[in-house]
A and B are shown apart, each in its own frame.
Chain A
Amino acid sequence: MVELFHQLASGLALGGVYAITALALVMIFQATQLVNFAQGEMAMFSTYIAWWLMQNGWDYWQAFGVTVVFSFVGGVVIERVVVRPFAQAPVLASVIVFIGLSFIFNALAGFFFGYSVQSFDTPFDGRPWFGNKFMSAHESGSVVVSLVVLALVFAFFRFTPLGLAMRAAAQNPASARLVGVRVGWMLALGWGLAAAIGAVAGMMAAPIVYLDPNMMGGILLYAFAGAVLGGIDNPWGAVFGGFTVGIAENLLGAYVVGEEVKLSVALIIIIGVLVAKPSGLFGRRIVARV
């Protein structure tokens, strides 16, 4: 029984990482109808920045803050420079560009920081919280950080004028432009936010999966599965899907399919959902006029 709660707890911790990565994916999807295949590698690169700062004697939370800001600016620049020129291109071209971006970030990380696996500090070390037996301090901390990120994102979109403008730009670009919203910049801000959220996800994942240039491959796949499960156009669905996939992955890995083939859980979820209910649990059905 203790073992089961253990698995649930670590599923919850990684589920938080999947949930916020899925949220970052959904944010870009809502605005552009595209899935950013480079999301994982961008987050990995951000995590390396934080690692490098800490190697140079920075305090954890300072490095954390600087990395989030750096990632935000990086995301905006990428949208402006790399993604924008392909706004009118077919889906195929955009996906190829995203894959190209992921190659570049993977190579940059390998070139500057090397390919050896690094351990990554966590600010939540020490004893488990509240004397519980199931969850390490980092796992508890990372669940809390995930929830804080979700709350901040929700508050931003719900209660600030800028958040409202971004929602307007995503839902109805033409009308938003007519009332004076600068739609192009809203897209760039969306990329910045997604990159910043991804950086947080990377920094929460790195103490668990360890830091190397390929660390986000599996995480991105689970985040895809979470987003597809919850409905790729629904932020709440993506968050729910992320946590569900985290728990399912851990339980199935421990008790059903075995640790070695855990990634196929994501494959089965993605194909199963797309076959049975392509819009996901909470997504809107897409109806196209012929």
Chain B
Amino acid sequence: MAVRLAWGLALAFAISSPFWMSGYHLYQFSQVLIYAIALLGLNLLTGYNGQLSLGHGAFFAIGGYGAAILIVKFGLPFWLAIPIASAVCFVAGFLFGFPALRFGGLYLALATFALAVAAPQLLAFKGIDFLTGGSQGLQVPKPGALLGLPMTTDQSVFWLCLIAAVALFVIAGNLVRGRFGRALVAIRDHPIAAESMGVNAALYKTICFGVSALYAGVAGGLDAVAVGFVSPESFGLALSLAFLVGIVVGGLASIGGVLFGALFIEFVPNYADQLTVYFGENAKALPGAVYGLLMILMMAAAPMGIAGLLRSLARASGLRSQ
């Protein structure tokens, strides 16, 4: 009951916000929704299926660049470009999932770490710069008003992100509650038992990788449209690690938790930037310090993140019976 109420309130807040929020704040909340979609994808993979990815920034980049190239070089509208780019991401994730099957948890972390570090260089690669714009990146035209309604660019971007986010959250929620989700959790918790129950672990794990990359791809595509620009430097290791921070803070294996994670990785660096007044230029270091400390403290004290804390709070106060 409490959970439904919280979801309703969050949705009401989101739907009302384009009518009263300033353009810049609206842009920030679009970013929150975009991060939430990417985190949702990573959480399906890492939280529910136990496959650790330190390289989801690369799939985010494929989605972003894919959409940008389709819009700029092929003249497709964004509502076609983003789904196509996301489908490409699904295939990329599925294919990456195949070798990943052979890696134990740690080796997968190494391989995806390598992917994250190498991604900016590969995006700037000269051989493909007629498509990607090389190290300069690509300018993406922002969408105009949706359905001919009177709205600013910020408002249409926000509506776009909100619609995508709601759809993807509902899909993820259903996936996780159903047969697919139970198989994922079973594979994470006891692969051998899962296989002997007839779960095709290899298939589920690769599909999970594909779906997870697809979510990252949608987020990347939306990000390209929202920011109006893609460049290799914005898809580095820092982005991939920020996603990891997001799901750890929000809560591993939690659908609602990713919203907290997304709020966290959008606003903490922002507020830390404002502290330059007190700490000088080197205050740039503060978000990293907060990220690092929180990751360790969370793992020690609240391994299920904010979502886990709220769950135990609700249980303690009797709002939710277990």
Contacts and interface: CB of A to CB of B under 8 A. Distances in A.
Interface of A: 33-35, 37, 82, 85-86, 89, 91-93, 95-97, 99-112, 114-115, 217-218, 221, 224-225, 228, 258, 260-264, 266-267, 270-271, 274-275, 278, 290
Contacts of A82: 296
B114 A91 contact: no
Given A100-B299, A271-B111, 12 more contacts: A92-B46, A96-B248, A96-B295, A107-B288, A110-B284, A111-B289, A261-B121, A261-B125, A264-B118, A270-B110, A271-B99, A274-B102
A104 B118 contact: no
B285 A99 contact: no
A96 B241 CA distance: 10
A262 B122 CA distance: 9
Interface in B276-316: 279, 281-289, 291-296, 299-300, 303
A180 B303 CA distance: 35
A218 B113 CA distance: 11
Given A85-B300, A262-B121, A100 B292 contact: yes
11 contacts: A91-B52, A95-B109, A99-B241, A107-B286, A107-B287, A221-B114, A224-B113, A263-B117, A267-B117, A271-B114, A275-B102
Contacts of B281: 114-115
Given A93-B303, A110-B282, A264-B121, A99 B244 contact: yes
A114 B252 CA distance: 34
A92 B244 contact: no
B110 A35 contact: yes
Contacts of A217: 117, 237
Given A82-B296, A96-B299, A274-B103, A108 B285 contact: yes
Contacts of A225: 114
A221 B110 CA distance: 9
Which of A95, A105, A266 has most chain B Cβ within 10 Å? A95
B50 interface: yes
Contacts of A115: 281-282, 284
Contacts of A264: 118, 121-122
B124 interface: yes
Contact of A100 (B103, B122, B295): B295
Contacts of A275: 99, 102
Top 10 A-B pairs, shortest CB-CB distance: A103-B292, A100-B295, A104-B292, A107-B288, A107-B289, A110-B285, A111-B285, A107-B285, A267-B114, A267-B118
B191 to A, nearest CB: 10
Contact of B105 (A91, A100, A266): A91
B88 interface: no
Contacts of B279: 111
Contacts of B102: 274-275, 278
B156 to A, nearest CB: 36
The B interface is mostly helix, strand or loop, or mixed, namely: helix
The A interface is mostly helix, strand or loop, or mixed, namely: helix
A107 B292 contact: yes
Contacts of B50: 92
B192 interface: yes
B126 interface: yes
A37 B300 contact: no
Question: What is the size category of the interface that chain B forms with chain A?
Answer: 35 or more
A35 B125 contact: no
Contacts of B244: 96, 99
B125 A102 contact: no
Nearest to A116: B281
B301 to A, nearest CB: 10
Contacts of A262: 121
A35 B109 contact: yes
A275 B103 CA distance: 8
A263 B248 CA distance: 28
A260 B124 contact: yes
A12 B33 CA distance: 47
B183 interface: no
B176 interface: no
Contacts of A260: 121, 124-126
Nearest to A262: B121
B271 interface: no
A266 B279 CA distance: 38
Interface in B11-63: 46, 50, 52, 54
Nearest to B134: A260
Given A114-B282, A274-B99, A278-B107, A290 B192 contact: yes
Which of A82, A104, A108, A225 has most chain B Cβ within 10 Å? A104
Contacts of A111: 279, 282-283, 285-286, 289
B299 A89 contact: yes
A86 to B, nearest CB: 7
Contacts of A112: 282
Interface in B92-142: 99, 102-103, 105-107, 109-111, 113-115, 117-118, 121-122, 124-126
A278 B122 CA distance: 25
Given A35-B106, A104-B289, A274 B111 contact: yes
B296 A100 contact: yes
B296 A97 contact: yes
